[in-house]
Amino acid sequence: MFRVNPRVQGVNPKLIDLYQKVDPSTIGHMTDFGFLKGLQPLSRPIRFVGNAVTVRIPHMDSTAVHKALDLVEPGDVVVVDMSGDTQRSCWGGMVSYAAKAKNVAGVIISGCINDVPEILELNLPIFSLGVSPLTTRILGIEGEINTTVSVCGVSINPGDLIVASDDGVFVIDPKNAEEYARTAIEKQEAEIETKRQVDAGVSLAALSGAEKFFS
């Protein structure tokens, strides 16, 4: 059985612009929630920000992945929940080609990928759990598009904001995203002055507050 829901535009241009300046590791100073721990980029440097289009597939059937590429729009991030299958690849060269043609911002796979040289040649930004020659098939068993999925223990809704960089991937409900972004930008800008003081000989422990635990 297949469930195909309409695409959700949860992310607005203002958020995209804000998060172009924010690294997930800066957000990591503020919260433990929303990080897709365990995923690795196919290559570095990597960076993308976009609107989640979600897909859930059973272990062997990637029919829904192909259909989801009919729904994506430029700037979307395709997020695939493989229902716990970490051995197979549901994403290779042809789906990468189709995604690149649709100008997706990036791809998140809770399983493996294949056709690495093709993906690298396309310069398609992608995070996954690894690479495998064992692949899914087009079987027409079942799948879901634009429903809530789970990747690395994190629930991701269609229209969520995906922020990815060399340090990893962060996911957040757009309604809560602006506050985190502005705090992160302030923190990143403050680091410029902190580095200046370190260059002037000031102790990092004194600047960070760590020193108080040793007095």
Residue ranges covered by each domain of the chain: 2-173
- The pLDDT tens digits for 70-94 are 999 999 999 999 999 999 999 999 9
Q: Give 7's DSSP letter.
A: P
Query: Nearest CA to 15 among 169, 160, 189?
Result: 160
**Residue whose structure tokens are 């995203």:** 177
Q: Distances in Å between the alpha carbon of 132 and those of 89, 122, 136, 210?
A: 6, 19, 11, 44
pTM for this model (two decimals): 0.94
Residue keyed to tokens 């998140």: 108
Convert the pLDDT of each residue in 135-177 to its tens digit.
999 999 999 999 999 999 999 999 999 999 999 999 999 999 9
Tell me: cis bond preceding 117? Omega within 30 of 0 counts: no
* DSSP classification of residue 9: -
The predicted-structure confidence for 31-57, as pLDDT tens digits, reads as follows 999 999 999 999 999 999 999 999 999
Q: Which CATH class is domain 2-173?
A: alpha beta
Above 90 in pLDDT, residue 8?
yes
